[in-house]
A and B are shown apart, each in its own frame.
Chain A
Amino acid sequence: MSILAELGLLIRLSHSQGIARRYFVVNGFDGALAMLGLNMGFYLSGGVATGIAVSACTGTAIALGMSGLSSGYVSEMAEKKRELRELERAMVTDLEESVHAMAARLVPVLIALVNGVAPFLIAMLVTMPLWLEQAGVSMPIAALHAAILTAFAVIFLMGIWLGRISGTFWLWSALRTVAIAIATCALILLVTA
């Protein structure tokens, strides 16, 4: 059996497809909102040097990634071990040599990767205009404004994706996620004003 087929079997066995998708959305949303908040903070404080903004955003992205990676691994490992022990009790046998034990070992790693990579990648995507400006690429609008707009665009796209998953109207779902982003900005304005 090929490695991909084996991985597919392990994911099906542990019913992890939905979990990974949920983690991707939850942590991706975290990444986008954290970057939106950070860039809003820079904007409201009158702007900062691009280098400082890039460093702060990259540091936050790495921290979000590491947080997702470690928390995902620890929680999923505990959950999968518990499920394996329950299955062993039901089967009245040791399942260490089975695909179930393999799934309990490997699936937490896969889910932790999704959990960590999603916020990191999305945060880096939002930070992209700042990177471009630092690299000397000229843009029609200020990099900070572009980063905030990118955060809204990413949140809008995630809303569309959520709508497709849930089978609801995509625009309604996208507008709902954008409303959350607007509420976040309003709160930041309220607190920092």
Chain B
Amino acid sequence: MAAIKRIVLDVLKPHSPNVVEFAQRIADDMAGCRVQVTVSEMDENTESLIVVITGDQVEFEVLSDALRSMGASLHSIDDVEVVQGE
């Protein structure tokens, strides 16, 4: 199956955990991946984030579970880069 090399997500999360802790938790669950989180919008209780994950093989299910465990919800998959394996 083709491997996901890069994926860009639009995510909504509560203020806690903060963005640093949020990114670290994703990185802990996504071994070998690079995690980049940008806050795009903020309101009283929530914040919208652009989450960019890059790696040799980004496991989307693991990523979804990590987001859910932190109370975040996936709004949309904005960009994805997939490479067919050998």
Contact = CB atoms under 8 A, between A and B. Distances in A.
Interface of A: 1, 9, 12-13, 15, 86-87, 90-93, 95, 97-100
Nearest to B29: A1
Interface residues on B, range: 10 to 19
A91 B73 contact: yes
B32 interface: no
Given A1-B28, A12-B16, A13-B16, A95 B46 contact: no
A7 to B, nearest CB: 14
B45 A87 contact: yes
B36 to A, nearest CB: 21
B71 A98 contact: yes
A91 B28 contact: no
B73 A99 contact: no
Contact of B45 (A12, A13, A86, A98): A86
B69 interface: yes
24 contacts: A9-B21, A12-B17, A12-B21, A13-B16, A13-B17, A15-B16, A87-B71, A90-B14, A90-B44, A90-B45, A91-B12, A91-B13, A91-B45, A91-B46, A91-B71, A92-B73, A97-B69, A98-B68, A98-B69, A99-B17, A99-B70, A99-B71, A100-B14, A100-B16
A9 B16 CA distance: 9
B37 to A, nearest CB: 17
